[in-house]
């Protein structure tokens, strides 16, 4: 439907249904501060949040500050996060990110999108997660694999690129809803609208969803 008046009406129905179904949706990563959320989000790439939450208590206890990550031997950090997969790349990202925090931001996670995405290991999606979930700042819509799949399936976008999908969603979804909408879409993707066998009979938006690509 695109970002037309009809598309916005369609999106509004989905937003309302998801809000009723998941009124308390939140980030499923465990964290106590913005730094911990940033580290957990980096670790969550190609890994379940459940697995990340099993690993991070020991990691957070061992590395309480950005300086601790920045000065940690890379091989030791790799070992500490190994079970999350792709641990070499993740360790480099974490170390580089934290070195940037120490050198440029006094060890604190900035509240600015442009500042965040300039740091190693932080793309727009991770920056949106940090700003929205840790600081309550709506800078965009988090577009992960769930949001990508559901947005296309629900005909909220026809794009395949995450940045272009986000632009469409930012145009369709009111800014005050961006943070909650992201959490709700992710939760709905995990619980109901799975990639291979979506539970359309249990779906709160079934009657307004065109189910693009389902069963093909």
Please report the pLDDT score of residue 1 as a whole number: 66
Give the whole-angstrom CA distance, residue 167 versus residue 197.
Answer: 28
Give the whole-angstrom CA distance, residue 18 versus residue 87.
Answer: 34
Please report the pLDDT score of residue 4 as a whole number: 82
**Residue 1's closest CA among 185, 193, 149, 168?**
168
Whole-structure pTM value: 0.92
Please report the pLDDT score of residue 2 as a whole number: 64
**Residue 91's closest CA among 69, 106, 63?**
69
What is the residue-level pLDDT of the chain in tens, covering all 216 positions? 666 889 899 999 999 999 999 999 999 999 999 999 999 999 999 999 999 999 999 999 999 999 999 999 999 999 999 999 999 999 999 999 999 999 999 999 999 999 999 999 999 999 999 999 999 999 999 999 999 999 999 999 999 999 999 999 999 999 999 999 999 999 999 999 999 999 999 999 999 999 998 875
Taking only the tens place, the pLDDT of each residue in 147-160 is: 999 999 999 999 99
* Catalytic residue of the set 125, 158, 160, 161: 125
Axis-axis angle for helices 74-81, 49-62 (nearest 10)? 140
Please report the pLDDT score of residue 204 as a whole number: 96
* Catalytic residue of the set 144, 160, 164, 197: 144
Instruction: Indicate the burial class of 115 (C-beta count within 10 angstroms; 0-12, 13-18, 19 or more).
Output: middle
Catalytic residue flag (residue 160): no
Please report the pLDDT score of residue 105 as a whole number: 98
Taking only the tens place, the pLDDT of each residue in 128-151 is: 999 999 999 999 999 999 999 999
The C-alpha angle with vertex 190 and arms to 189 and 192, in degrees rounded to 5, equals 65
The tokens for 133 are: 């979930």
Catalytic residue flag (residue 125): yes
Contact 108, 63 (CB under 8 A): no
What's the sign of the alpha-carbon dihedral 68, 73, 75, 79?
negative
Structural domains present in the chain: 5-26+141-202 (1.10.1670.10), 34-135 (1.10.340.30)
Please report the pLDDT score of residue 138 as a whole number: 97
Q: Which residues contact 67 (CB under 8 A, 6 or more apart)?
A: 98, 102, 107
Count of other CB atoms within 10 angstroms of residue 160: 9
């Amino acid at each position: 439907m695109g970002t037309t008046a009809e598309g916005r009406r369609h999106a509004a129905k989905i937003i309302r249904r998801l809000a009723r179904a998941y009124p308390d949706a939140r980030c499923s990563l465990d964290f106590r501060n913005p730094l911990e959320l940033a580290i957990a989000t980096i670790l969550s790439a190609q890994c379940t949040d459940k697995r990340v939450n099993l690993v991070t208590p020991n990691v957070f206890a061992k590395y309480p500050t950005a300086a601790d990550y920045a000065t940690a031997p890379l091989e030791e950090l790799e070992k500490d996060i190994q079970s999350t997969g792709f641990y070499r790349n993740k360790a480099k990202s974490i170390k580089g990110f934290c070195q940037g925090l120490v050198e440029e931001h006094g060890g604190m996670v900035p509240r600015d999108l442009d500042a965040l995405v300039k740091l190693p290991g932080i793309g727009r999606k991770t920056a949106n997660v940090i700003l929205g979930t840790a600081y309550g700042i709506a800078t965009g819509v988090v577009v992960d694999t769930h949001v990508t799949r559901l947005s296309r399936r629900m005909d909220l976008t026809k794009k395949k690129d995450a940045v272009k999908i986000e632009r469409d969603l930012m145009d369709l979804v009111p800014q005050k809803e961006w943070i909650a909408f992201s959490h709700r879409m992710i939760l709905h993707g995990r619980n109901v609208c799975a990639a291979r066998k979506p539970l359309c009979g249990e779906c709160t938006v079934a009657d307004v969803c065109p189910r693009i690509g389902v069963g093909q």
